[in-house]
């Protein structure tokens, strides 16, 4: 019966996975490959302290280690971290890359990483300088992963689609268009 409905024989899981992967635009798949490869290298070499590559506001400010803005985005702390970040990124990145093209998407990711880092620095700096209760530890907190960029992409995609809200599993983001 299945064969008569679909025309040819049943399609295997590997074929479906291959078709899904082939449908992902170039830059989006490149981000998935880079993040996944970096995580695997870290896993195989036993590298699990991210103090040298994470976004650390105190190091960016005092030692001008601006490379941390970009290295922190491609490193992930666990297999679930990288898998869920990439599963969230693929549909958003694919849709936006089809609209904007690969080069504009690359530029946007660089811009989002930079702006997210600047906002992170500003918030940490302001929290440290609260007169009543200083939060000095925020300058020494490491941040890694693609989550900031994913949430920025959600805002951009929701704005472009004209939707009033976007549902993310258990969270509803309401936005004015």
pTM, two decimals, is: 0.82
Task: For residues 120-144, give the mean pLDDT.
Answer: 87
- Please list the residues that pair with 55 across neighbouring strands: 143
Task: For residues 89-117, give the mean pLDDT.
Answer: 96
Convert 41-87 into a string of H (helix), E (strand) and C (coil): HHHHHCCCCCCCCCECHHHHHHCCCCCHHHHHHHCCCCHHHHHHHHH
- With a CB cutoff of 8 Å and minimum separation 6, the contacts of 166 are 154, 157, 158, 172, 173, 175
Residues 46-65 pLDDT 10s: 998 899 999 999 999 999 99
């Amino acid at each position: 019966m299945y064969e008569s409905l679909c025309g040819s024989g049943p399609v295997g899981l590997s074929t479906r996975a291959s078709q899904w992967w082939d449908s992902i635009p170039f830059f989006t798949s490149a981000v998935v490959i880079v993040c996944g490869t970096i995580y695997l290298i870290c896993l195989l070499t036993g590298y699990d302290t991210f103090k040298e590559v994470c976004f650390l506001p105190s190091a960016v400010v005092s030692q001008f280690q601006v490379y941390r803005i970009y290295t922190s985005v491609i490193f992930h702390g666990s297999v679930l971290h990288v898998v869920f970040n990439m599963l969230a990124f693929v549909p958003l990145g694919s849709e936006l890359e089809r609209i904007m093209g690969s080069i504009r998407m690359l530029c946007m990711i660089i811009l989002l990483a930079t702006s997210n880092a600047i906002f992170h620095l500003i918030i940490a700096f302001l929290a440290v300088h609260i007169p009543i209760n200083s939060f000095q530890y925020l300058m020494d907190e490491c941040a890694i992963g693609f989550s900031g960029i994913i949430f920025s992409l959600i805002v951009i995609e929701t704005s472009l689609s004209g939707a009033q809200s976007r549902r993310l599993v258990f969270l509803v983001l309401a936005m004015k268009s």
